[in-house]
Amino acid sequence: MQLSSIRSFNAASPAPPASKPEVAQEAEFSYNSQDRLVMDPGTTVLKGVEAGPRTERFAMKGTSLQPNADGDYVFEAKDPRSTSAVAFSAAQKTLETFESAFGGKVDWAFRRPQMGVYPDHQDRPMLNAYYSRNDGSVNFFHDTDRVTGTLIQSGSSGEVVSHEVGHAILDGLRPGYLAAWNSDTGGFHESFADSMAILMGTQDEAVVAKVVDQNGGDLSKPSILSGVAEELGRGINNASGTNRTGGDYLRQAVNNFKWADPRTLPERGGPDRLGHEAHDFSRLWTGAFYEVLTQINQEKMDAGIPPQEAIKQTGQEGIKMLANLVREAPKGQFTYRQMAEAFVKSDEKHNAGQQAGRIREVFTNREILSPNLYANAEDAVPASENFRMVQTTLRGSGFGQFEGAVVKTPVDEAFPLGKDVETEKRTRDDIKRLIDAGRILMTNPGQRVETKDLFDAQGRPYVGVVTWENGQMNIERVPIIS
């Protein structure tokens, strides 16, 4: 498999026009914004559906799903077809929800009009899911819970699907991020995806009703909304024999994490400790964002808005905040502090600063921002339209078989990490940590690398892979993110 060069996906690249489905109709689908551990699927209606099923933006892959006698795609929760229907409907709804807040179309980074949805890869039991730019798809898997014996299908969880589609959305808008090496950029990608999954739950009446039963609408208390991917998380804990995640969830948005330099952290932390691995480090940003949502929601309830309506309105505001943030976000590699500065700026610019003070306070208390952040958007540095690549050669001790490899890092001139020599040092440090953690895949000159080769024995995608050009060893980011 030839790896895509990030240089082909900068902000100036034109996208081909999207093709229109030949048959456009309305169809009802099984839909679950959570997973089967939390609740059985309900239904939702999608527009512009043709046989397959397909829409203008998504196409079912790996299976043939025929409509029922009513011409819809509604199946009992235990029916194997339900997973396919949920995966497809959750993908479509997630994109529609974000684009509505964004106010425009999100072109896929792989520059094809439709993204493939593989609801369940039958050949590889795995407690995982991922988005692949090279394959232009979101991919879901299954395995058996080692303790309960139940079948876990990641495609049956709307949260997991929304997470992976969230990756695809961010990749379409900020493709430079999948060329970055630092924990901050990777962590934000994971947090953005988790945030999309959480926010989709705020728009589901059944979910919101359960949340209110659990905590009365007080989002500062854990609930099925703050816990992401409960069934998958429990399965991973049961497979490892330890409480790796802190509960029956993959990640928890209600947390008290504060900034720590990822270079000082272990690869993996624990329920109460950060690690520098992207999913692990993402919990800091997700916790801060969710805390902002918690305060907005409480303010609405204090004003007399019923809890269920308050949560729905808060979710709508949160989706707009994410969409506005992406408009002002860096194009290349960044730190959490730089992204937080962009977050404040985005609210000043696109929301009349209604939440800017709240964002500043929360992210300052989390020690992501410093107390002397600029007071208004006029003092902020504008984002550039593109990014450039800074080249680093791995020299010195500790690189082993990767000695002499060339690595490229995307840099946004408006959000510099220092002079190029400082960027090069940071890149060497980041690559060294990834090498030590076994996250860079070594290959041989002339070796053909396929998608399946880009995963380790535990089913995790490698972060980087060696490629060769005229005898020169390069390390490229793997364009797959789980």
> Exposed, middle or buried: residue 251 (CB in 10 Å: 0-12, 13-18, 19+)?
buried
CB 294, CB 223: distance < 8 Å: no
pLDDT confidence of residue 270: 94
pLDDT confidence of residue 418: 75
Q: How far apart are CA 359 and CA 74, in angstroms?
A: 41
**Is pLDDT above 70 for 5?**
no
Query: Mean per-residue pLDDT for 317-332?
Result: 97
**Is pLDDT above 50 for 195?**
yes
pLDDT tens digits along 331-344:
999 999 999 999 99
**Is pLDDT above 90 for 397?**
no
pLDDT tens digits along 31-63:
999 999 999 999 999 999 999 999 999 999 999
The number of C-alpha atoms within 13 Å of 345 and in the hemisphere containing its C-beta is: 21
pLDDT tens digits along 281-318:
999 999 999 999 999 999 999 999 999 999 999 999 99
Q: What is the mean pLDDT of the chain?
A: 91
Q: How far apart are CA 201 and CA 160, in angstroms?
A: 12
pLDDT band at 9 (very low <50, low <70, confident <90, very high): very low
Q: How far apart are CA 255 and CA 314, in angstroms?
A: 19
180-379 folds as: Neutral Protease; domain 2 (1.10.390)
Q: How far apart are CA 356 and CA 138, in angstroms?
A: 34
Q: Give the CATH class of 6-177.
A: alpha beta
User: How many residues belong to the chain?
Assistant: 482
**Is pLDDT above 60 for 181?**
yes
pLDDT band at 212 (very low <50, low <70, confident <90, very high): very high
CB 322, CB 224: distance < 8 Å: no
More confident residue, 154 or 412: 154
Q: Which residue reads 């790896």 in tokens?
A: 3
pLDDT tens digits along 139-158:
999 999 999 999 999 999 99
pLDDT confidence of residue 223: 98
Q: Which residue reads 């979101």 in tokens?
A: 138
**Is pLDDT above 90 for 463?**
yes
pLDDT tens digits along 213-257:
999 999 999 999 999 999 999 999 999 999 999 999 999 999 999
**Is pLDDT above 60 for 22?**
no
CB 118, CB 94: distance < 8 Å: no
State the Cα angle at 161 between 148 and 6, rounded to 5°.
130
**How many other C-beta atoms lie within 10 A of the C-beta of residue 157?**
31
Q: How far apart are CA 293 and CA 219, in angstroms?
A: 8
DSSP 392: E
pLDDT band at 372 (very low <50, low <70, confident <90, very high): low
Q: Which of 335, 326, 278, 328 is nearest to 477 (CA)?
A: 278
pLDDT confidence of residue 23: 53
**How many other C-beta atoms lie within 10 A of the C-beta of residue 89?**
30
Reduced to 3 states (helix: H, G, I; strand: E, B; else coil), residue 49 is strand
**Is pLDDT above 50 for 10?**
no
Sequence spans of domains, the chain: 6-177, 180-379, 388-481
**Is pLDDT above 60 for 383?**
no
**Is pLDDT above 60 for 129?**
yes
**Is pLDDT above 60 for 180?**
yes
pLDDT band at 24 (very low <50, low <70, confident <90, very high): low
Q: Residue 170 is encoded by which pair of tokens?
A: 């961010």
pLDDT band at 376 (very low <50, low <70, confident <90, very high): very low
Query: 109-135 in b/e burial notation, b at 16+ Cβ within 10 A?
Result: bbbebbbbbbbbbeeeebbbbbbbbbb
**Is pLDDT above 90 for 4?**
no
Helices then strands, counting H and E runs in the chain, come out as: 10, 16
Instruction: Give me the residues paired with residue 252 across strands.
Output: 227
